[in-house]
Amino acid sequence: MASAIARVVGRPTWQQTMLRIKDPGKSIPFYTDVMGMTVIDTLDFPQWKFKLWFLATLPEEERYALTPGTKEAHDYMWSIEGTALELTYNYGTEKDESQKYHPGNEERDGFGHIAFNTDDVYAACEKLEKAGVTFKKKPDEGRMKGLAFAYDPDGYWVEILKRNETNKIPNYFNFSQTMKRIKDPSKTIPFYEALGMTVVRQKDYGDFSNFFLTSSSNVDTSVDYSSLSDAEAKAKMSMLFGPVLELTHNHGTENDEDFKHYNGNEEGRQGYGHIGFLVDDVYAACDSIRELGYGFKKEPDGGGMKGLAFAWDPDGYAVEIIKRGGIEFGDKRVET
């Protein structure tokens, strides 16, 4: 499904997936100690009573020496070529017993899950279970054997997938997917291709299809992905170090004018928030995005934080557009 739509200017790269969390005292150790991610930066906004953590799977041999929350960490994080997991914490939620975020996967929910790849799903799940992690599905349960869905501390589904080859990626786990449901791939796929993404695999299962896209920094430019068999595409995708955006289309939704997925930001259904892209120039990129015709939740000069934007994708998901190198966010910096 190659796109004829012009690319958005400014070399957009997929930089983040945002989820809301209730208790950072539980969620941060889950993603660092259990899933092997590194906190590369934080943004703290006491004036608005929320804090952001940014986590990434770094190469196993890389030792991260920067202090999250400092200018140096900000400079690193807003220049990465990979994709971070942004965890958003609103002050005090951990003290409210009734507070719970919506993890998705109910009727008409758009967000599905995130995923991590590993060499051995069965051994990984034993390791997770010993660490106190619970499961939606263990590897030998259900119809699809050899993959699993764990729960994170907020109840988000975390898929555990097998790499095609062992001992090639040193990390025990690597952040490998964000999954969302879409209504009409003929609109959504070109939108993300315009944002610099490449379809590295697509699979028709009869009543639904999956499209897997990844950012330019994660693409092997020597490979013509459209010429691969599904087995070849699946194998190559499993060995990518960075994540793919999995877009799931349930056939027929595109013919229902009234159908719409929840985007994760509605009152009472908040959990997943958005994905975000770095660009060289937010204003120029937004001029390009405006031509796609889906509008903006926040224009670059709208609201209290100038110089970043939130566009709508064809399904009504929010897509953050951020300047490569960052802006002055007004956060409380960590001094070293």
* Tens of pLDDT, residues 270-311: 999 999 999 999 999 999 999 999 999 999 999 888 999 999
Q: Round to whole Å and give the CA distance between 228 and 137.
A: 30
Q: Round to whole Å and give the CA distance between 91 and 115.
A: 27
Dihedral sign, CA of 140, 143, 144, 149?
negative
Residue 234 has pLDDT above 90, yes or no: yes
Q: Round to whole Å and give the CA distance between 246 and 233.
A: 14
Residue 181 has pLDDT above 90, yes or no: yes
Quote the pLDDT of residue 5. 82
Residue 4 has pLDDT above 80, yes or no: no
Residue 1 has pLDDT above 80, yes or no: no
The pTM score is 0.97
Quote the pLDDT of residue 2. 52
Q: Round to whole Å and give the CA distance between 77 and 82.
A: 9
Catalytic residue positions?
A: 159
Of 193, 250, 208, 255, residue with least CA distance to 8: 193
Across 3-7, 13-17, 68-72, 189-193, least confident range: 3-7
Take residue 295 and report the two structure tokens written for it: 């509008």
Confidence of residue 336 (pLDDT cuts 50, 70, 90): confident
Of 219, 218, 263, 245, residue with least CA distance to 110: 263
For 6-17, what is the mean pLDDT?
Answer: 97
Confidence of residue 323 (pLDDT cuts 50, 70, 90): very high
93, amino acid identity: T
- Which stretches within 159-259 are classed as H helix? 185-194, 230-238
Confidence of residue 143 (pLDDT cuts 50, 70, 90): confident
Residues facing residue 151 across a β-bridge: 157
Query: What rounded mean pLDDT belongs to the chain?
Result: 96
Quote the pLDDT of residue 335. 87
Take residue 65 and report the two structure tokens written for it: 């020496």
